[in-house]
Amino acid sequence: MSEAKKYPTPATNPETLPFWDAAKQGKLMIKRCTTCGEAHYFPRSICPFCFSDKTVWEQSSGEGTIYTFSVMRKSPTGPYVLAYVTLKEGPSLQTNIVNCDLETLKIGQKVTVVFKPTEGASLPFFTPV
């Protein structure tokens, strides 16, 4: 049973290469805009808040809270949890909650990043702390 199978292999390009390199080492990278100070994810070269091109890489703590989630029970590979996690640094991302008890998962629960290898790259998932 592999969560990785549900994801297409991410396309890497020069803009996101530092993200994937860090992911291989288990580090979650986000970007912060030095013009407006907002952090964003997925990393882009143009700030999605103020459209400045002054964005810099920053390592996320990997800590976050579950903003919302659904348990997907009708999957051929078994039930899994689709969720939005809000990182401590501010940005939210769509991800899967892994290594968790489906019955006790709660909105607002604290989670931490865990990387799982897929065919092409390591993808960030989250697990309860």
Before 69, cis peptide (omega within 30)?
no
CA distance 110 to 105: 10
Instruction: Output 35 or 68, the one with its CB closest to Zn ion.
Output: 35
Alpha-carbon distances of 33 from 8, 40, 50, 67, 95, rounded to whole Å = 28, 8, 9, 23, 23
Instruction: Output 17 or 36, the one with its CB closest to Zn ion.
Output: 36
* Residue 53 binds Zn ion (CB under 5 A): no
Instruction: Output 17 or 50, the one with its CB closest to Zn ion.
Output: 50
* Among the listed residues 45, 49, 77, 127, the single contact to Zn ion using CB under 5 A: 49
* Region near Zn ion per CB under 5 A, out of 35-43, 67-75, 82-90, 97-105: 35-43
Please report how close the Cβ of residue 42 comes to Zn ion at its closest, in angstroms.
15
* Residue 45 binds Zn ion (CB under 5 A): no
* Residue 47 binds Zn ion (CB under 5 A): yes
CA distance 13 to 115: 20
- Give the footprint of Zn ion on this chain (CB under 5 A): 33, 35-36, 47, 49-50, 52
